[in-house]
Amino acid sequence: MAEVKEKETIGVSDGALVPDRADKSIFSAWRISFFGALILLGALPLISPDPFWEIIKFIPDGILRTFQVTILSIIFALIIGLFTGLGRISRIPFINRIATIYVEVVRGIPLLVQLFYIYFALGQFVQVPRLVAAVIAMSFCYGAYMGEIFRAGLQSIPKGQMEAALALGLSRGQAIRKVILPQTFRLILPPVGNEFIALLKDSSLVSILAVSDLLRRGREYASRTFEYFETYTIVALVYLVLTLFLSKLVAIMEERLTRHE
């Protein structure tokens, strides 16, 4: 009688490819991509200072604004995701249904549409600054994805943990706060890191609201000088370096978590 093989879970993320811990080669794909991008960023201004060096001098404030939007959005998304994840496993039907509807609705609407809706559509009733609208939209969108990460993390904790905490006299709320959540945070760190990388890339969408992020600054320079190829080459290389650097941090974090298990 043939053995039934267990189905393998295929995980695909829109974040950067996390370096394989087993790949120690000097010429690994990550090293070639990361250091190749760094070499190009250093070589292009030397080969042709005008316009490449001028572009590099023009965009640093855009890089800072990109990180500002990304960090603020990920902080609020984590808060929203925590409450959404708790709502998704809640035994109260009303709370569970509200959390589930939020996840389904938000994940079904593209982030670009949410940006337009919050800034332009709701702007007819409440004037929201561009940066605030961008952070709200990205937090609201990624909060739904974070909610699913928290839900999966919470449900991955053995039920015996909760039963043991209740047997020790803790209430359900205390058990979740003091026993379940600390273990959950450790489990979800790698996927949260992947979402952080994806959010960094999606932050380029806020340029449509005239937020002066990296892409917006690139567009401003290109529209002024008509040097589109050179400008977007530098912008693409900067995004590549940032995402690959963060992907390496995620890989290091996963390795340390695995080592302590």
Question: Residues 109-139: pLDDT tens digits?
Answer: 999 999 999 999 888 888 889 999 999 999 9
> Among residues 183, 128, 186, which one has the least CA distance to residue 157?
183
What is the pLDDT at residue 16?
Answer: 52
> Among residues 2, 43, 65, which one has the least CA distance to residue 212?
65
Question: HEC states along the chain?
Answer: CCCCCCCCCCCCCCCCCCCCCCCCCCCCHHHHHHHHHHHHHHHHHHHCHHHHHHHHHHCHHHHHHHHHHHHHHHHHHHHHHHHHHHHHCCCCHHHHHHHHHHHHHHHCCCHHHHHHHHHHHHHHCCCCCHHHHHHHHHHHHHHHHHHHHHHHHHHHCCHHHHHHHHHCCCCHHHHHHHHHHHHHHHHHHHHHHHHHHHHHHHHHHHHHHCCCCHHHHHHHHHHHHCCHHHHHHHHHHHHHHHHHHHHHHHHHHHHHHHHCC
What is the pLDDT at residue 13?
Answer: 53
What is the pLDDT at residue 5?
Answer: 41
Write the CA distances from 113 to 77, 205, 216, integer angstroms. Answer: 18, 10, 18
Q: Which of 4-13, 120-129, 232-241, 244-253 has the lowest mean pLDDT?
A: 4-13
Mean pLDDT within 12-26: 56
Q: Has residue 257 got a pLDDT over 50?
A: yes
CATH fold of the domain at 29-259? MetI-like fold (1.10.3720)
**Residue predicted with more confidence, 101 or 23:** 101
11 falls in which pLDDT band (50, 70, 90)? very low
In percent, the amount of the chain with pLDDT more than 70 equals 88
What is the pLDDT at residue 176?
Answer: 82
Mean pLDDT within 30-52: 92
Question: For the chain, which residues make up each domain, given as ranges?
Answer: 29-259
What is the pLDDT at residue 21?
Answer: 56
**Residue predicted with more confidence, 25 or 184:** 184
pTM of the model: 0.84
